Amino acid sequence: MKFFVDTADVSEIRKLNELGIVDGVTTNPTLIAKSGRPIREVLAEICDLVDGPVSGETVSTDAEGMVREGHWLREIADNLTVKVPLTVDGIKATKILSDEGIAVNVTLCFSSAQALLAAKAGATFISPFVGRLDDIGLEGMNLIQDIRLIYDNYGFDTEILTASARHVPHLLEAARLGSDVITAPPKVFWQLFEHPMTDKGLAAFLADWEKTGQKLG
Protein backbone atom coordinates (compact mmCIF):
# COMPACT_ATOMS: atom_id res chain seq x y z
CA MET A 1 0.00 0.00 0.00
CA LYS A 2 1.22 3.48 -0.87
CA PHE A 3 1.63 6.13 1.83
CA PHE A 4 0.62 9.68 0.91
CA VAL A 5 1.16 12.46 3.46
CA ASP A 6 -1.79 14.81 3.87
CA THR A 7 -0.12 18.15 4.53
CA ALA A 8 1.37 21.23 2.88
CA ASP A 9 4.03 21.54 5.60
CA VAL A 10 7.26 20.95 3.68
CA SER A 11 9.34 20.34 6.81
CA GLU A 12 7.01 17.52 7.91
CA ILE A 13 7.09 15.97 4.44
CA ARG A 14 10.88 16.16 4.35
CA LYS A 15 11.25 14.35 7.70
CA LEU A 16 9.07 11.44 6.59
CA ASN A 17 10.54 11.36 3.09
CA GLU A 18 14.02 10.88 4.56
CA LEU A 19 12.77 7.57 5.99
CA GLY A 20 11.96 6.30 2.51
CA ILE A 21 8.28 5.65 3.25
CA VAL A 22 6.58 8.52 1.37
CA ASP A 23 4.98 7.64 -1.96
CA GLY A 24 3.12 10.90 -2.52
CA VAL A 25 1.43 13.92 -0.97
CA THR A 26 -2.12 15.27 -0.89
CA THR A 27 -3.08 18.86 -0.26
CA ASN A 28 -6.34 20.80 -0.24
CA PRO A 29 -7.27 24.50 0.01
CA THR A 30 -7.40 24.32 3.81
CA LEU A 31 -3.89 22.86 4.07
CA ILE A 32 -2.51 25.39 1.59
CA ALA A 33 -4.09 28.20 3.62
CA LYS A 34 -2.50 26.83 6.82
CA SER A 35 0.92 26.86 5.16
CA GLY A 36 0.66 30.63 4.75
CA ARG A 37 2.45 30.43 1.41
CA PRO A 38 1.46 30.98 -2.25
CA ILE A 39 0.01 27.78 -3.68
CA ARG A 40 2.31 27.64 -6.68
CA GLU A 41 5.39 28.10 -4.50
CA VAL A 42 4.51 25.43 -1.95
CA LEU A 43 3.32 22.85 -4.51
CA ALA A 44 6.46 23.34 -6.60
CA GLU A 45 8.65 22.71 -3.55
CA ILE A 46 6.70 19.59 -2.58
CA CYS A 47 6.78 18.23 -6.14
CA ASP A 48 10.55 18.74 -6.23
CA LEU A 49 10.97 16.98 -2.88
CA VAL A 50 8.74 13.96 -3.53
CA ASP A 51 9.04 11.69 -6.57
CA GLY A 52 5.45 10.42 -6.43
CA PRO A 53 2.10 12.10 -7.12
CA VAL A 54 1.33 15.40 -5.40
CA SER A 55 -2.33 16.43 -5.40
CA GLY A 56 -3.19 20.10 -5.88
CA GLU A 57 -6.88 20.99 -5.74
CA THR A 58 -8.96 23.18 -8.04
CA VAL A 59 -11.35 25.69 -6.47
CA SER A 60 -13.77 26.42 -9.33
CA THR A 61 -17.21 24.82 -9.15
CA ASP A 62 -17.81 24.58 -12.92
CA ALA A 63 -16.14 22.10 -15.24
CA GLU A 64 -14.62 24.74 -17.48
CA GLY A 65 -13.01 26.44 -14.51
CA MET A 66 -11.72 23.15 -13.08
CA VAL A 67 -10.12 22.24 -16.40
CA ARG A 68 -8.53 25.69 -16.71
CA GLU A 69 -7.18 25.52 -13.16
CA GLY A 70 -6.10 21.93 -13.74
CA HIS A 71 -3.95 23.02 -16.67
CA TRP A 72 -2.47 25.81 -14.53
CA LEU A 73 -1.67 23.39 -11.71
CA ARG A 74 -0.20 20.84 -14.10
CA GLU A 75 2.31 23.43 -15.33
CA ILE A 76 3.92 23.35 -11.87
CA ALA A 77 5.41 19.86 -12.26
CA ASP A 78 4.97 16.58 -14.12
CA ASN A 79 4.09 14.74 -10.90
CA LEU A 80 1.27 17.17 -10.03
CA THR A 81 -2.09 15.39 -9.82
CA VAL A 82 -5.15 17.59 -10.32
CA LYS A 83 -7.72 17.21 -7.55
CA VAL A 84 -11.41 17.87 -8.26
CA PRO A 85 -14.59 17.37 -6.19
CA LEU A 86 -17.05 14.59 -6.86
CA THR A 87 -19.78 16.71 -8.41
CA VAL A 88 -21.41 16.64 -11.83
CA ASP A 89 -18.95 19.26 -13.05
CA GLY A 90 -16.09 17.52 -11.28
CA ILE A 91 -16.80 14.28 -13.15
CA LYS A 92 -17.06 16.19 -16.42
CA ALA A 93 -13.69 17.82 -15.74
CA THR A 94 -12.23 14.43 -14.79
CA LYS A 95 -13.17 13.00 -18.17
CA ILE A 96 -11.67 15.94 -20.05
CA LEU A 97 -8.43 16.02 -18.07
CA SER A 98 -7.95 12.25 -18.00
CA ASP A 99 -8.47 12.07 -21.77
CA GLU A 100 -5.60 14.57 -22.03
CA GLY A 101 -3.37 12.23 -20.03
CA ILE A 102 -3.51 14.33 -16.86
CA ALA A 103 -3.71 12.45 -13.56
CA VAL A 104 -6.88 13.28 -11.61
CA ASN A 105 -7.71 12.66 -7.95
CA VAL A 106 -11.48 12.82 -7.38
CA THR A 107 -12.09 13.92 -3.81
CA LEU A 108 -14.99 14.21 -1.35
CA CYS A 109 -16.32 10.74 -2.14
CA PHE A 110 -18.85 9.42 0.36
CA SER A 111 -20.56 6.55 -1.48
CA SER A 112 -19.67 3.59 -3.69
CA ALA A 113 -22.03 4.97 -6.36
CA GLN A 114 -19.91 8.14 -6.50
CA ALA A 115 -16.76 6.03 -6.70
CA LEU A 116 -18.21 4.16 -9.67
CA LEU A 117 -18.82 7.46 -11.48
CA ALA A 118 -15.22 8.55 -10.92
CA ALA A 119 -13.83 5.29 -12.28
CA LYS A 120 -16.07 5.49 -15.34
CA ALA A 121 -14.74 9.00 -16.02
CA GLY A 122 -11.14 7.76 -15.90
CA ALA A 123 -10.01 9.08 -12.52
CA THR A 124 -6.49 8.11 -11.47
CA PHE A 125 -7.47 8.14 -7.78
CA ILE A 126 -10.75 8.13 -5.87
CA SER A 127 -10.62 9.61 -2.37
CA PRO A 128 -13.30 8.22 -0.02
CA PHE A 129 -13.45 10.21 3.24
CA VAL A 130 -13.68 7.54 5.93
CA GLY A 131 -13.15 9.78 8.97
CA ARG A 132 -15.96 12.13 8.05
CA LEU A 133 -18.33 9.19 7.65
CA ASP A 134 -17.31 8.00 11.12
CA ASP A 135 -18.15 11.50 12.38
CA ILE A 136 -21.81 11.10 11.39
CA GLY A 137 -22.18 7.67 12.97
CA LEU A 138 -21.43 5.50 9.93
CA GLU A 139 -18.65 2.96 9.51
CA GLY A 140 -16.34 4.68 7.05
CA MET A 141 -14.22 1.63 6.33
CA ASN A 142 -17.25 -0.22 4.96
CA LEU A 143 -17.07 2.17 2.01
CA ILE A 144 -13.52 1.07 1.23
CA GLN A 145 -14.64 -2.55 1.24
CA ASP A 146 -17.54 -1.81 -1.13
CA ILE A 147 -15.42 0.19 -3.57
CA ARG A 148 -12.73 -2.50 -3.61
CA LEU A 149 -15.34 -5.12 -4.50
CA ILE A 150 -16.87 -3.02 -7.28
CA TYR A 151 -13.56 -2.00 -8.82
CA ASP A 152 -12.31 -5.59 -8.77
CA ASN A 153 -15.55 -6.83 -10.35
CA TYR A 154 -14.99 -4.67 -13.41
CA GLY A 155 -11.23 -4.27 -13.54
CA PHE A 156 -11.17 -0.51 -13.08
CA ASP A 157 -7.68 0.99 -12.98
CA THR A 158 -8.69 3.83 -10.62
CA GLU A 159 -6.74 3.52 -7.37
CA ILE A 160 -8.57 3.68 -4.04
CA LEU A 161 -6.99 6.45 -1.96
CA THR A 162 -8.38 6.16 1.57
CA ALA A 163 -8.69 9.74 2.82
CA SER A 164 -9.71 11.50 6.03
CA ALA A 165 -7.79 8.80 7.91
CA ARG A 166 -7.48 9.86 11.53
CA HIS A 167 -5.44 7.14 13.25
CA VAL A 168 -3.44 3.94 12.91
CA PRO A 169 -6.51 1.62 13.02
CA HIS A 170 -7.84 3.42 9.92
CA LEU A 171 -4.53 2.78 8.16
CA LEU A 172 -4.33 -0.88 9.12
CA GLU A 173 -7.94 -1.59 8.17
CA ALA A 174 -7.41 0.12 4.82
CA ALA A 175 -4.41 -2.16 4.26
CA ARG A 176 -6.44 -5.25 5.17
CA LEU A 177 -9.23 -4.24 2.79
CA GLY A 178 -6.88 -3.72 -0.13
CA SER A 179 -6.86 0.07 -0.43
CA ASP A 180 -4.19 1.03 -2.95
CA VAL A 181 -3.20 4.20 -1.10
CA ILE A 182 -3.84 5.90 2.20
CA THR A 183 -3.34 9.57 2.94
CA ALA A 184 -3.04 10.74 6.51
CA PRO A 185 -1.53 13.54 8.58
CA PRO A 186 2.17 13.13 9.46
CA LYS A 187 1.39 12.19 13.08
CA VAL A 188 -0.36 8.98 11.96
CA PHE A 189 2.77 7.72 10.20
CA TRP A 190 4.96 8.54 13.20
CA GLN A 191 2.55 6.58 15.39
CA LEU A 192 3.23 3.45 13.32
CA PHE A 193 6.65 3.21 14.95
CA GLU A 194 5.32 3.20 18.48
CA HIS A 195 5.12 0.05 20.61
CA PRO A 196 6.11 -0.25 24.28
CA MET A 197 7.61 -3.69 23.76
CA THR A 198 10.03 -2.32 21.18
CA ASP A 199 11.23 0.31 23.65
CA LYS A 200 11.47 -2.23 26.46
CA GLY A 201 13.33 -4.75 24.34
CA LEU A 202 15.84 -2.19 23.06
CA ALA A 203 16.53 -0.94 26.58
CA ALA A 204 17.23 -4.50 27.74
CA PHE A 205 19.57 -5.24 24.84
CA LEU A 206 21.53 -2.03 25.39
CA ALA A 207 21.82 -2.65 29.12
CA ASP A 208 23.19 -6.15 28.54
CA TRP A 209 25.60 -4.90 25.89
CA GLU A 210 26.95 -2.22 28.22
CA LYS A 211 27.82 -4.91 30.75
CA THR A 212 30.17 -6.57 28.23
CA GLY A 213 32.36 -3.47 28.04
CA GLN A 214 32.71 -3.94 24.29
CA LYS A 215 32.45 -1.38 21.50
CA LEU A 216 31.52 -1.63 17.85
CA GLY A 217 33.67 0.06 15.24
Catalogue the long-range contacts made by 149-155 (C-beta closer than 8 Å, 24 or more residues apart): 150/112, 150/115, 150/116, 151/115, 151/119, 154/119
Angle at CA of residue 157, ends 89 and 82, nearest 5°: 40
Three-state SS letters, the chain: CEEEEECCCHHHHHHHHCCCCCCEEECCHHHHHHHCCCHHHHHHHHHHHCCCCEEEECCCCCHHHHHHHHHHHHCCCCCEEEEEECCHHHHHHHHHHHHCCCCEEEEEECCHHHHHHHHHCCCCEEEEEHHHHHHCCCCHHHHHHHHHHHHHHHCCCCEEEEECCCCHHHHHHHHHHCCCEEEECHHHHHHCCCCHHHHHHHHHHHHHHHHHCCCCC
Q: Which residues are catalytic?
A: 83
